[in-house]
Amino acid sequence: MITFRLSNSVYAYVGYLLLMVYFLWPGRFASLYDYIEGENIYDQLIRKTTKNISLMRNGLRCDYSEVIEENLSLYRPPYTEDIINNNVRIGGEYYPEDCLPSFSTAIIIPYRQRERQLNQFLIYMHNYLRRQRIHYRIFVIEQYDPKPFNRAKLFNIGAMIAVGFDYPCLVLHDVDLMPMNLGHLYACSRKPRHMCSSLDVFRYNLPYRGLFGGAVAIESSVYLNINGMSNMFSGWGGEDDDLYGRLQNKQIEICRFSPEYSQYSMLKHRKETPNKDRVAFLKNGKQRYHTDGLNSLVYKQVGFKLHNLFTHVLVET
């Protein structure tokens, strides 16, 4: 019988190769979830706009094929440093004037005391979104009171305001997330979409299939149908899993685009205080889906202002 003995140097070499794979191929587990390939993205998008855009009759429809096919990597200077050729309308709204957009999207940002991140977000996102040639508006919903941050409730508030402005598509978006590739159109798909499934802080891997937060695209009608998000998750954690549970309860499937379209970068930030009741809320969440959400939303609006780059809604929760 012939036996082989491996030297320490061989073990070291194998270990080195494994480390190289770990660091140089971070998205190696991306195929563990289903996703829509790049060539199928446009067919999955819902072409719907606000009434004022729909009434525009002059001009040709905007073409999105080049944006999707090229999928340019945009997260770099000068796009991250200053707004280029600023033609954003008051309130943070934009639509191209040389063609008719096929999509109208409200981007809703829950916010409190992150001025630096908000500035970075607005600069980059306006550069990013205008190149997609869609109609969009950025709503910043700021929690004014000193209570624990209630991200989900702020999303609910922003959603109701956006629906009042006739936006058919909502993107629920954290202020610290930056899309890296231009081909991921900020429009709603046939199924609610988890947009940031390839996130740098997770080494571009999806931690678990039920993750449905950070940046989410969902039709306004679907958000209304599931009664929005829970208003009970003050502090960090749980509200995204509860949102996923609400979709499952209505037998609504989610989707994702392929990893090369879904790469996001997270800005450094201070963590919020965890919600000590989040596990209990998740366990009994199904009992509250019909009573805790948009139909139980109570808040006080203390300010509403159209800034140059965003619509600012100041609220007490």
Q: What is the CATH number for 202?
A: 3.90.550.10
Given a contact cutoff of 8 angstroms between Cβ atoms, the answer to whether 254 and 191 are in contact is yes
pLDDT at 237: 82
Least confident of 33-37, 61-65, 194-198, 280-284: 280-284
**Does residue 3 lie in a domain region?**
no
Provide the mean pLDDT of the chain: 91
**Does residue 10 lie in a domain region?**
no
- 146 pLDDT band, cuts 50/70/90, is very high
Domain count for the chain, please give it: 1
**Does residue 7 lie in a domain region?**
no
**Does residue 283 lie in a domain region?**
yes
pLDDT tens column, 172-194? 999 999 999 999 999 999 999 99
**Does residue 30 lie in a domain region?**
no
Q: What are 184's two structure tokens?
A: 């991921």
**Does residue 19 lie in a domain region?**
no
Q: How far is CA 253 from the centre of its chain?
A: 17
Amino acid symbol at 105 = T
Q: Coil, helix or strand for 286?
A: helix
Beta bridge partners of 198: 263
Could you list the residue range(s) of the whole structural domain that residue 174 is in?
Answer: 35-316
**Does residue 184 lie in a domain region?**
yes
pLDDT at 264: 98
Whose CA is closest to 234, among 145, 126, 137?
145
**Does residue 207 lie in a domain region?**
yes
pLDDT tens column, 214-266? 999 999 999 999 999 999 998 888 899 999 999 999 999 999 999 999 999 99
pLDDT at 279: 82
Structure-derived torsion over alpha carbons of residues 89, 94, 99, 101, reported in degrees to the nearest 10? -150
pTM (2 decimals)?
0.89
d(CA 201, CA 195): 15
